[in-house]
């Protein structure tokens, strides 16, 4: 393995800069200049292309492998969306143009995309209006919590607590805490969903809101969801819908109709924009009627003459949360995807996502512990607890064994309410053939666990590296190559 | 149905195995909560969507010659970047939780971190943040937590959009946010000195600042360090090809917007927030960090490390709530810096300064145009005053085919006549000449 | 096995009280549960600590725990060598692996802590 820095040959350059056509070169005061050049590698274009092509071959992606990473919705990302996003009419558009006098008319196409996506998302969720600005799901959560705080402040209340379930993604409590709230955790009941009685006991006037993923991270829909919303509302709290799992119920049920006040959607999950190895995503936030005034500036509005404009003068708004209009090129991809799906497509997405998850659950339930046996939604959670007890094989070992079988592993050790958890989310874009191969491999692994556990302990062997020493990595971090200052 | 593989027959087979119906799979959702059919149009084909959105793209006036910057620049993007980042092995992967299946992404992030350290002359970098504005916010949160103090001082020569973002994000936090007013286009030494005290968690400055002026913050770093506070410096990567680095100035946390490193303007995003810091704050940095280690066979490999800082482990006690970042944008930036290399990057950086300097001289020749600030050094952006209302002047220049610059009255009370003009390596001498003629004609 | 003569908390810290000074550490039970410890953050001498609140953190690869002070007082000494020699924490939790020494501000707080036998009993109910 060579780093790009190791491949450097002095004198090479991958891009020839354009020749200067201005008469003089400016000599800045020497004290203002850096005293040594930035130590970037020197490579030809081919060197660079080969290096990164090699690196790409050391990755699993949805394009190469089944990727059932629970709660991440790793569905297929249509290629036409990439083509649309790279259209120079969007890619070369400067975000400050609409802030020039008369500049809004220079960007009508882009503003229309934002406006129409807002309309699509309103219809899909039943909310009254959206901001496209949050640049990821967690950023949407923070925006939502800031809206909750602004709402209570406007009512003259200072509430201090945000409630989250014990099955919540870590981003929920983290978002609430960095917005200045204390966080309390609501336990689950024996059916795997929020314990209503426990919630009731936790209610007091300090409760500013509740954050909920629905269906939850076990893939379970809480039949008491309406009662939960009503209970939070009874102390003037707000209910936040973490849309990470919308893929399970799109077209079947709308958070706005249930009574949720705020929603974030992960466009990179439900609406098929590429996950990019960890972003960029987009996390639009929608609110109900009473919270519209608190949405961040700016908002796109449609004027009577049919043109689109940005509205900045919004008195109650929480203010700027992004420099401009969010990750526009991601919103654009999602917009294209929703146009292609249409109303029937939205329904087919959730139906097939749920069918695929239940199919896997059914095929594997005799082979892995299944802590919650009822019908699941878009994902199902198994436990490798029995394998650990009988053969010393953990969820991690199963995950590594799956890699050798050619599959990206499920999410491991989450949610934390399940011991040795393996959380499988197949998504609707996968075929029955793929699911069957995956299930066959999972069943094979239980046989290997029984007959040849050492093989699993040694897995993976088919990848560029074996299991890595994470303890040393964290104890003595090497996180920058030959850093001149680190020595 | 697009993007759904199962045929009707397969669906039937699967439902039979499950001994249920499609309705049965949703029986757990109470009837009264169900929604009716969505009021969306029927789905359209790939061909139709491409045509439809293609028409919308044409409504955007991207043919204007662009002299607008303000922290977001029209730089040239080498072709190899798009070709490489669009590889599905990179773009359709996710956060590298399973290191063995993600060595490509992990090594790239490690190289990106290393490249950012070399660019800024700092010790450590994270794997990226959303944008330059949220990066300042994250740096402020990091400073508040590290110093256990609650006062933040920011000069108004820092990008006003970022300052507005910081105000929003800190509304619910118990902090004192003090803004100092620039002195003739530079961070205001006197006001900063008067404000820095033993409650000060951090001072936030920018170089080159929003007006394009070049500064050296070594003195401010010394002052804030003497009071046990931190210096947060936001910077423009292209400028660091030639300018003194924040590391050399003594900054504790460096942030910035990486859009200039090979990312299209795309009407505001996705962009790339970067953050680097010193070894002392390595375990306080927000977001993902990749480390180099060994595998069981003794081979080199890469993993996500220092994860106990993060939300998925520490939940409400995490240093940040960030999960998805801008990994693919960081990859673009890494490829950009690799292609440019040591020499190319320096040359582009110098070229931007040269062209801006030429434009400044050329525009000053116009009667009525005056430099806004005294004899300051500027990089690739500068402020001129025009007779009459600047917003009006810029508006008239749109008709002549120019996005001529950014009128500053939008964010600064006393700058009704001022235009901020940015020049990148893509602008030609001829375009600058034409801008000058057009400006002369409208004032 | 916990040691006799020490006082224990429910969050698995121990305190050895000698006159007005208490030495604080982490029990073997806590250390085994954390797994490979990778990082330790301790306060500085002179810092005030309060019974039941965090004075530092201990981290393994996949977990982070607060170190809660069993007693209130002022830190007089910290185990300087320990953060760079984490194996000492693992090998000798009740001796060389001590964390901090504090000068007590309220010696009566000790009566609220568990004795060794009570702590051993308490551990039986932990998983």
Q: How far apart are CA A25 and CA B55, in angstroms?
A: 43
CATH of domain B79-335: 3.40.640.10
Residues B290 and B304: beta-carbon distance below 8 Å: yes
User: Which A residues 409-448 touch B at CB under 8 Å?
Assistant: 409, 411-412, 414, 428-432, 434
Q: How far apart are CA A386 and CA A418, in angstroms?
A: 12
**What CATH number should be reported for the domain holding residue C55?**
2.40.50.100
CA A296 vs. chain centroid, Å, equals: 21
Q: Could you write out the three-class secondary structure of A204-245?
A: CCCEEEEEEECCCCCCCCCCCHHHHHHHHHHCCCEEEEEECC
Summary count for chain C: helices (H), strands (E): 3, 9
Are A379 and A323 in the same domain?
no
**Within a domain: residue A33?**
no
Q: How far apart are CA A240 and CA B427, in angstroms?
A: 48
- Neighbouring chains to A with at least 3 Cβ pairs closer than 8 Å: B, C
DSSP A59: B
**Residue B82 exposure: Cα atoms within 13 Å on the Cβ side:** 12
Sign of CA dihedral A59, A61, A64, A65: positive
**How close B329 comes to chain C (CA, Å)?**
28
Q: Which residues of B fall within a CB distance of 8 Å from A253? A: 29, 33-35
**How close B302 comes to chain A (CA, Å)?**
8
Task: With cut-offs at 50, 70 and 90, classify the pLDDT of residue C37.
Answer: very high
Can you list the alpha helix ranges (DSSP code H) found in C35-115? 86-91
Q: How far apart are CA B304 and CA A473, in angstroms?
A: 9
* The token pair that represents B270 in the structure block: 């996705």
pLDDT for the residue numbered A410: 98
pLDDT for the residue numbered C61: 82
C9-30 confidence digits (pLDDT tens): 999 999 999 999 999 999 999 9
Domain hosting C102: range is 7-122
**What CATH number should be reported for the domain holding residue A438?**
3.90.1150.10
B99-113 confidence digits (pLDDT tens): 999 999 999 999 999
Paired residues of A186 in beta bridges? A165
Q: How far apart are CA B395 and CA C101, in angstroms?
A: 70
A126-178 confidence digits (pLDDT tens): 999 999 999 999 999 999 999 999 999 999 998 999 999 999 999 999 999 99
Paired residues of A411 in beta bridges? A423
Of the three residues A340, A360, A375, the one that is the final residue of a domain is A340
Closest of C81, C77, C83, C88 to residue C59, by C-alpha: C83
Burial class of residue A374 (count of CB atoms within 10 Å of its CB; 0-12, 13-18, 19+)? middle
- Neighbouring chains to C with at least 3 Cβ pairs closer than 8 Å: A, B
Task: With cut-offs at 50, 70 and 90, classify the pLDDT of residue C127.
Answer: low
Percent of chain B at pLDDT > 90 equals 95
Contact residues of B toward C, CB < 8 A: 283, 307-308, 313-314, 317
Are A209 and A273 in the same domain?
yes
Nearest-CB residue to A170 (from B30, B318, B348): B318
**Within a domain: residue A55?**
no
* The token pair that represents A44 in the structure block: 């030809």
**Within a domain: residue C73?**
yes
DSSP B175: -
* The token pair that represents B123 in the structure block: 């010790």
Paired residues of B233 in beta bridges? B205, B254
**Within a domain: residue A130?**
yes
Task: With cut-offs at 50, 70 and 90, classify the pLDDT of residue A485.
Answer: very low
A354-401 confidence digits (pLDDT tens): 999 999 999 999 999 999 999 999 999 999 999 999 999 999 999 999
Interface probe for B, chosen from C35, C39, C61 (most Cβ of B below 10 Å), is: C61
Q: Do C63 and B308 touch (CB under 8 A)?
A: yes
**Residue B19 exposure: Cα atoms within 13 Å on the Cβ side:** 2
Q: How far apart are CA A215 and CA A262, in angstroms?
A: 16
What 3-state class would DSSP assign to B275? strand
**Within a domain: residue A411?**
yes
The predicted complex's ipTM stands at 0.98
pLDDT for the residue numbered A487: 37
Of the three residues A340, A362, A378, the one that is the final residue of a domain is A340
State the average pLDDT for chain A: 96
Q: Where are the domains of chain B?
A: 65-75+342-442, 79-335
Does residue A298 have a cis bond before it (omega within 30 degrees)? yes
Are A294 and A319 in the same domain?
yes
Unique residue bearing structure tokens 């180099």:
B292
Q: Do B307 and C61 touch (CB under 8 A)?
A: yes
**Within a domain: residue A143?**
yes
* The token pair that represents A484 in the structure block: 């001149």
Positions in chain B whose pLDDT score sits under 50: none
* The token pair that represents B179 in the structure block: 């803004």
**Within a domain: residue A347?**
yes
pLDDT for the residue numbered A25: 84
Nearest-CB residue to B283 (from C39, C60, C63): C39
Task: With cut-offs at 50, 70 and 90, classify the pLDDT of residue C64.
Answer: confident
pLDDT for the residue numbered B2: 75
pLDDT for the residue numbered C35: 85
**How close C91 comes to chain B (CA, Å)?**
23
Q: Do C39 and B314 touch (CB under 8 A)?
A: no
**Within a domain: residue C2?**
no
User: Which A residues 368-427 touch C at CB under 8 Å?
Assistant: 413
Q: How far apart are CA A369 and CA A383, in angstroms?
A: 5
| A468–C contact, CB cutoff 8 A | no
Closest of A172, A175, A135 to residue A282, by C-alpha: A135
Residues A239 and A259: beta-carbon distance below 8 Å: yes
**Within a domain: residue C83?**
yes
Q: How far apart are CA B339 and CA A457, in angstroms?
A: 41
Are A319 and A333 in the same domain?
yes
**Within a domain: residue A14?**
no
Closest of C7, C104, C11 to residue C66, by C-alpha: C11
Of the three residues A289, A324, A340, the one that is the final residue of a domain is A340
Instruction: Could you please state the CATH topology (level 3) that the domain comprising B65-75+342-442 is classified under.
Output: 3.90.1150
Domain count, chain C: 1
Residues B382 and B406: beta-carbon distance below 8 Å: no
Interface probe for C, chosen from A170, A174, A475, A476 (most Cβ of C below 10 Å), is: A475
| A305–C contact, CB cutoff 8 A | no
Q: Which residues of C fall within a CB distance of 8 Å from B317? A: 64, 66
**Within a domain: residue C1?**
no
CA A5 vs. chain centroid, Å, equals: 32
Residues A346 and B40: beta-carbon distance below 8 Å: yes
Residues B422 and B357: beta-carbon distance below 8 Å: no
A189-237 confidence digits (pLDDT tens): 999 999 999 999 999 999 999 999 999 999 999 999 999 999 999 999 9
What 3-state class would DSSP assign to B382? strand
Angle at C94 between CA C89 and CA C100, to 5 degrees: 70
Query: What are φ and ψ of residue B138, in 5° steps?
Result: -65, -40
pLDDT for the residue numbered A482: 80
Helix axes A45-56, B327-364, angle to 10 degrees: 150
**Within a domain: residue A197?**
yes
Q: How far apart are CA B242 and CA B257, in angstroms?
A: 17
Q: Which residues of A fall within a CB distance of 8 Å from B298? A: none
Measuring CA to CA, how many Å separate A482 from each of A10, A261, B123, B130? 17, 50, 10, 27
Task: With cut-offs at 50, 70 and 90, classify the pLDDT of residue A486.
Answer: very low
Unique residue bearing structure tokens 């061909």:
B47
Strand order in the sheet with A129-131: A129-131, A285-287, A262-265, A238-243, A207-213, A161-165, A182-186
Task: With cut-offs at 50, 70 and 90, classify the pLDDT of residue A483.
Answer: low
Q: Which residues of B fall within a CB distance of 8 Å from C64? A: 308, 313-314, 317
User: Which A residues 45-104 touch B at CB under 8 Å?
Assistant: 45, 48-49, 51-65, 67, 69, 72, 74-78, 80, 82-97, 99-103
Domain count, chain A: 2
Closest of A109, A470, A234 to residue B61, by C-alpha: A109
For residue A444, the tally of other CB atoms under 10 A from its CB is 14
Residues 6+ apart with CB under 8 A from B264: A86, A91, A92, A329, B77
Domain hosting A298: range is 82-340
């Amino acid at each position: 393995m060579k780093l790009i820095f190791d491949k450097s040959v002095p004198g090479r350059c991958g891009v020839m800069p354009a020749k200067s056509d201005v008469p003089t070169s400016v000599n800045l005061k020497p004290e203002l200049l850096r005293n040594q050049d930035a130590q970037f590698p020197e490579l030809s274009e081919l060197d660079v292309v080969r290096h990164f092509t090699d690196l790409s071959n050391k990755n699993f992606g949805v394009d190469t492998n089944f990727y059932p990473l629970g709660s991440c919705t790793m569905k297929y990302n249509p290629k036409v969306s990439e083509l649309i996003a790279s259209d120079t009419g969007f890619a070369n558009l400067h975000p400050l143009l609409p802030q020039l006098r008369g500049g809004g008319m220079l960007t009508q196409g882009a503003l229309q995309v934002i406006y129409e996506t807002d309309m699509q998302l309103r219809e899909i969720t039943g909310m009254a209006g959206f901001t496209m600005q949050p640049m990821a799901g967690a950023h949407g959560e923070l925006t939502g919590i800031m809206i909750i705080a602004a709402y209570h402040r406007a009512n003259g209340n200072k509430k201090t607590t945000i409630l989250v379930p014990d099955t919540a993604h870590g981003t929920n409590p983290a978002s609430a805490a960095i917005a200045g709230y204390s966080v309390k955790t609501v336990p689950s009941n024996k059916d795997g969903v929020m314990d209503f009685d426990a919630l009731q006991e936790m209610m007091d006037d300090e409760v500013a809101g509740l954050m909920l993923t629905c269906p939850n991270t076990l893939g379970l829909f809480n039949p008491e969801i309406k009662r939960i919303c009503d209970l939070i509302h009874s102390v003037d709290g707000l209910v936040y819908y973490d849309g990470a799992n919308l893929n399970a119920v799109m077209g079947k049920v709308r958070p706005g109709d249930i009574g949720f006040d705020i929603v974030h959607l992960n466009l990179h999950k439900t609406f098929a924009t590429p996950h990019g190895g960890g972003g960029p995503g987009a996390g639009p936030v929608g609110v109900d009627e009473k919270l519209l005034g608190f949405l961040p500036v700016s908002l796109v509005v449609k004027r009577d003459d049919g043109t689109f404009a940005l509205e900045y003068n919004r008195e109650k708004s929480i203010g700027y949360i992004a420099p401009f209009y969010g990750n526009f090129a991601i919103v654009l991809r999602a917009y294209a995807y929703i146009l292609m799906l249409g109303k029937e497509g939205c329904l087919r997405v959730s139906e097939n996502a749920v069918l695929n998850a239940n199919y896997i659950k059914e095929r594997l339930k005799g082979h892995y512990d299944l802590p919650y046996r009822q019908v699941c939604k878009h994902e199902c959670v198994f436990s490798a607890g029995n394998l650990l007890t009988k053969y010393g094989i953990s969820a991690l070992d199963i995950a590594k064994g799956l890699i050798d079988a050619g599959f990206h592993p499920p999410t491991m050790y989450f949610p934390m309410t399940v011991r040795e958890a393996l959380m499988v989310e197949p998504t609707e874009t996968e075929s029955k053939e793929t699911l069957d191969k995956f299930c066959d491999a999972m069943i094979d692994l239980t046989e290997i666990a029984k007959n040849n556990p050492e093989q699993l302990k040694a897995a993976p062997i088919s990848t560029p590296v074996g299991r890595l020493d994470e303890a040393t990595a964290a104890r003595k971090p090497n996180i920058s190559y030959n850093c001149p200052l680190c020595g | 149905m697009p993007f759904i593989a199962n045929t009707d027959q397969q669906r039937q087979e699967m439902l039979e195995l499950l001994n249920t119906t499609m309705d049965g799979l949703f029986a757990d959702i109470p009837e009264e909560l169900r929604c009716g059919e969505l009021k969306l149009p029927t789905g359209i084909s790939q061909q139709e969507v491409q045509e439809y959105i293609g028409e919308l793209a044409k409504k955007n006036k991207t043919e204007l010659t662009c002299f607008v910057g303000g922290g977001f620049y029209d730089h040239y993007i080498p072709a190899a970047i798009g070709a490489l980042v669009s590889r599905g092995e990179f773009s359709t992967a996710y956060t590298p939780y399973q290191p063995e299946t993600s060595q490509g992404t992990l090594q790239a992030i490690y190289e990106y971190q290393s490249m950012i350290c070399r660019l800024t002359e700092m010790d450590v970098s994270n794997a990226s943040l959303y944008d330059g504005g949220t990066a300042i916010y994250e740096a402020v949160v990091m400073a508040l937590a590290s110093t256990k103090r609650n006062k933040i001082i920011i000069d108004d020569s820092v990008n006003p959009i970022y300052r507005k973002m910081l105000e929003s994000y800190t509304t619910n936090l118990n902090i004192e946010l003090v803004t100092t007013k620039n002195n003739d286009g530079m961070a205001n030494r006197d006001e900063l000195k008067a404000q820095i005290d033993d409650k000060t968690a951090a001072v936030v400055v920018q170089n080159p600042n929003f007006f394009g002026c070049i500064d050296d913050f070594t003195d401010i770093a010394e002052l804030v360090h003497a009071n046990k506070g931190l210096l947060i410096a936001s910077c423009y990567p292209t400028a660091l090809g030639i300018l003194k680095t924040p590391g050399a100035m003594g900054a504790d946390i460096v942030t910035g917007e990486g859009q200039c490193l090979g990312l299209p303007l795309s009407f505001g995003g996705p962009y790339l927030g970067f953050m680097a810091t010193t070894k002392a704050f390595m375990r306080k940095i927000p977001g993902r960090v990749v480390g180099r280690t060994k595998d069981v066979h003794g081979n080199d490999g890469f993993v996500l490390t220092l994860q106990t800082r993060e939300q998925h482990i520490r939940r409400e006690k995490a240093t940040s709530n960030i999960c998805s970042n801008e990994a693919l944008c960081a990859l673009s930036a890494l490829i950009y810096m690799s292609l440019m290399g040591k020499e190319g990057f320096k040359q582009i950086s110098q070229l931007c300064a040269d062209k801006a300097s030429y434009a400044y001289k050329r525009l000053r020749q116009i009667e009525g145009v005056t430099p806004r600030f005294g004899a300051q050094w500027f990089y690739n952006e500068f402020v001129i005053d025009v007779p009459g209302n600047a917003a009006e002047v810029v508006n008239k220049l749109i008709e002549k085919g120019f996005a001529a610059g950014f009128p500053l009255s939008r964010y600064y009370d006393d700058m009704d006549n001022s235009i901020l003009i940015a020049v990148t390596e893509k602008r030609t001498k001829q375009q600058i000449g034409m801008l000058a003629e057009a400006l002369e004609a409208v004032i | 096995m916990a040691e006799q003569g020490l006082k224990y908390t429910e969050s698995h810290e121990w305190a050895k009280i000698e006159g007005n000074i208490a030495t604080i550490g982490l029990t073997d039970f806590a250390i085994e549960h954390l797994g490979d410890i990778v990082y330790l953050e301790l306060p500085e001498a002179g810092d005030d600590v309060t019974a039941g609140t965090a004075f530092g953190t201990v981290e393994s690869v996949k977990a982070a725990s607060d170190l809660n002070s069993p007693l209130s007082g002022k830190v007089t000494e910290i185990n300087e060598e320990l953060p760079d020699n984490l194996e000492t924490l693992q090998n000798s939790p009740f001796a060389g692996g001590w964390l901090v020494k504090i000068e007590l501000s309220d010696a009566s707080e000790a009566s609220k802590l568990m004795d060794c036998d009570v702590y051993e009993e308490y551990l039986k109910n932990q998983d």
